[in-house]
Amino acid sequence: MYNSISKWEMEVILNSIYNGIIAINNKGIITIFNKAAEKILNIKAEDARGKYIKDIVPNTRLHIILKTRTAEIDQQQIVGNTTIITSRIPIIDGDGNLIGAVAIFRDISELKKLANELTNLREIESMLKAIINSTQDAISVVDEHGKGILVNPAYTRLTGLTEKDVIGKPATVDIAEGESMHMQVLRTGKPVWGVAMKVGPNKKEVVVNVAPIMVDGKLKGSVGVIHDISEIKRLNDELDKAKKLIRHLEAKYTFDDIIGESEIMQTIIEHAKKIADTPATVLLRGESGTGKELFAHAIHNQSKRRHNQFIRVNCAALSDPLLESELFGYIEGAFTGAKKGGKKGLFEQANGGTIFLDEIGEIKHNLQTKLLRVLQEKEIVRVGDTRTIEVDVRIIAATNVDLEEAVKSGKFREDLYYRLNVLPLYIPPLRKRKEDIPLLVEHLIRKYNQEYGRSVEKISEEALKILVEYNWPGNVRELENIISRAMINMKYVENVIQEKHLPILENNKYFLNDEFGEKSVLTDDNYVYKTLKEIIEDKEKEIIKHILKKTGGNKTEAAKKLGIAIRSLYYKLEKYEL
C-alpha cells in the first residue's frame, strides 16, 4: 500500500501535519523537514535537507538516538527562542537494521504563556478571596442561574450556614422569611438596597444590598452584602425576659425543630403528632435536659389551637402564693399589694390556647386541688373570689419527678395524677439515642456560630467519637453546654472542633483544661453548687478579663482577638460587670 504513495503525495501529507517532523538517515543526514518544522524552527526546508543534523539543530539528540536505538518521548527542548516538546524515535526495518531516526515536535511557547497568565489569574483570584474572607461584612455570590458560588466566613457567622450548605444550592436556601433578592436582581438586572429579611436556621434579622455582576455587558450573577440588625433587638428582648419570672410567649418550635433520626425518636415524634390532633391533656415525662419543652411547643403548633396563646409556667420558679395568683389571678383587695381592679390569671389569658406547666411535680397540695378543678370542671376561681370563671385551655404538663413514687409517698394527689396522665409521652435520654449525636452537634454548631459570631464548620471524627462514647447524664442540655464551651475555647482562625477543645469526659465528671496553663477537676467538693452553664460563664468571664488585660483595655482590639462583634463584647462586659 505504501509503495503506491508517490513522493509528491508523501510531501503533501507531511506538510499538512500540525507537528514539526525531522527525519535523518543512519548517517545523521536530514531527509525530511516538513512545513511545520520550518515554521517552528524558522529554518527553510531547502537549507536543511541533505545537511548533517547537528549543523542545523545544534542541541539535537537525534544523532544520539542512532547510537542508543532508544526512543525519547515527550522531552522539552529549547531551540532558539522557542520551547518545544519533542519525541525522538529510531527507525528500524523488519530485519532489525537501523535506517535512521525521526523527531516529532510541537511549539509550546504559547501554552507556557497561557499557563503563566493562568497562574497570574489564580494569584489574583486568591488575593480577591483573601480580601472577601477578611471583611467583617457577610458576602454571598450566586451565578446567573441563582446557584451559590461563594460565601465568606462572616456570612457563616451571621447565618449559621457553611459553604457546604450554600455552594451549588439555590439562592433561596438561606432565606427564612422574605424573598430572595439575588433572584430579583437576576430577573431585573437592577440592584436593590436596604431590604429587610430573616436568614439562616435561627431567622437572623438582616438588611441586604444586592448588585448584579456584569461581564462584557452580560449578566453573570449577583453579589449580596448582608448586615446584621438583630443584635440591639436581641438585647432588648433579653432585658424584657430577664424582668419576667414567668415566660409568656407564643410557641416558637415545631416538629421540624426536633433533631433526631434514630428509630426511638422517630417513633416518639410520630406519636406526639397524633397526640397533637387531640384536645386531651398531655404529660411529658423524661430526665432533665431531654427536650420536653421543645415537644410542648411542637404539640401546640401542630394542634388546632396553634393560632391562640401558648403560655409556659415554670412551677418550680415561684413560691406557692405567687404561683397561685399568677395561674388563677386575683380580685381587688385579695391580699396586701393586690393590683387595683384585680388581675387575670394565666389560665384566663390562655383561654382557647395551651398552657404548659413545666416541673408539675413540684407544686404543693393546695395548688394541686385547684389544678384538679381546672381539669375536671374547666373552670377557675380567682384568689379572694368565690365566683367561677369558665376556661377552655389545653394543659401540657412536664416533669422529671417519679410521680408514681410521689403518689405513694402522699406528695402528689392520685386523682390529679390520673387526670394528667391521660396521654403520657416519654422523652428518652440522650444515652438511649446516641446515633442522633452527630446531627445534634451539627445543629448546635450552626446555632452557636450565630450566637458567638464564629465560623466553625464541623467537628473532627476523634472529637465526635468522644461525645458518642460519653453517657450524658445532663442529656441534650449538657451537650449544648459542651459544644458551647468547645467553641468558646477555639481560636478565631480555627474552624474544626478538635479533641483538645473538649473538656475531658470521664465517669460523668468534667476535667477542664484551663486556657492559661492550669488543670481543674470538677468534683463534688469544688463545683457542687454550679451548673454547667455557670461554669462556662465563669470561664468566659475569665477569658474576657485576660484578653482585656493583654490589650491594655482596648475593647475594639479585644473584640477582634475574641472573634466577636464589639456590640457583643459590650453586652458581655455589662453582663459580667467587668
Q: What pTM, to 2 d.p., does this model score? A: 0.55
Count CB neighbours of 136 within 10 A: 12
Count CB neighbours of 378 within 10 A: 12
Please check whether residues 33 and 127 belong to one and the same domain.
no
Q: Is 235 domain-assigned?
A: no
Please check whether residues 69 and 161 belong to one and the same domain.
no
pLDDT band at 28 (very low <50, low <70, confident <90, very high): very high
The total domain count for the chain is 4
Q: Is 262 domain-assigned?
A: yes
Please check whether residues 78 and 33 belong to one and the same domain.
yes
Q: At what angle do helices 475-489 and 437-452 cross, to 10 degrees?
A: 50
Please check whether residues 351 and 424 belong to one and the same domain.
yes
Q: Is 116 domain-assigned?
A: no
Q: Rounded to an integer, what distance in angstroms lies between the CA atom of residue 24 and that of residue 9?
A: 20
Question: What average pLDDT score do residues 97-108 get?
Answer: 89
CATH number of the domain residue 179 falls in:
3.30.450.20
Please check whether residues 444 and 421 belong to one and the same domain.
no
Please check whether residues 65 and 103 belong to one and the same domain.
yes
Q: Rounded to an integer, what distance in angstroms lies between the CA atom of residue 454 and that of residue 446?
A: 9
Please check whether residues 213 and 348 belong to one and the same domain.
no
Identify residue 292 by its one-letter amino acid code. K
How distant is the alpha carbon of residue 341 from its chain centre? 51
Q: What is the pLDDT of residues 391-401, one digit of tens each?
A: 999 999 999 98
Choose the final residue of a domain: 107, 134, 166: 107
Say if residue 436's pLDDT is above 90. yes
Count CB neighbours of 344 within 10 A: 13
Q: What is the pLDDT of residues 228-250, one digit of tens each?
A: 876 656 665 665 554 444 444 46
Angle at 426 between CA 421 and CA 431, to 5 degrees: 155
Q: Is 118 domain-assigned?
A: no
Using CB atoms within 10 Å of the CB of residue 410, give its burial: 0 to 12 exposed, 13 to 18 middle, 19+ buried: exposed
Q: Is 117 domain-assigned?
A: no
Task: Give the range of the structural domain holding residue 33, as residue numbers without chain letter.
Answer: 2-107
Choose the final residue of a domain: 394, 428, 462: 428
Q: Is 158 domain-assigned?
A: yes
Instruction: Return the C-alpha cell found at 25.
Output: 538517515
Range of lowest pLDDT (13-27, 235-249, 289-303, 540-554): 235-249
Identify residue 572 by its one-letter amino acid code. K
Q: Rounded to an integer, what distance in angstroms lies between the CA atom of residue 516 and that of residue 242?
A: 32
Q: Is 234 domain-assigned?
A: no
CATH number of the domain residue 258 falls in:
3.40.50.300
pLDDT band at 307 (very low <50, low <70, confident <90, very high): confident
- Strand extents, DSSP E, 382-488: 388-390, 394-399, 423-426, 458-459
Q: Rounded to an integer, what distance in angstroms lies between the CA atom of residue 33 and that of residue 219?
A: 50
Choose the final residue of a domain: 107, 138, 160: 107
Q: Is 512 domain-assigned?
A: yes
DSSP one-letter string for 457-492:
-EE-HHHHHHHHHS--TTHHHHHHHHHHHHHHHS-T
Distances in Å between the alpha carbon of 211 and those of 214, 215, 459?
9, 13, 35
Please check whether residues 259 and 317 belong to one and the same domain.
yes
Please check whether residues 481 and 411 belong to one and the same domain.
no
pLDDT of residue 525: 39
Question: In 227-319, which residue ranges form alpha helices assigned H by DSSP?
Answer: 230-242, 263-276, 292-302
Please check whether residues 204 and 342 belong to one and the same domain.
no
Please check whether residues 472 and 534 belong to one and the same domain.
yes
Say if residue 512's pLDDT is above 60. no
Please check whether residues 452 and 412 belong to one and the same domain.
no
Angle at 347 between CA 320 and CA 388, to 5 degrees: 90
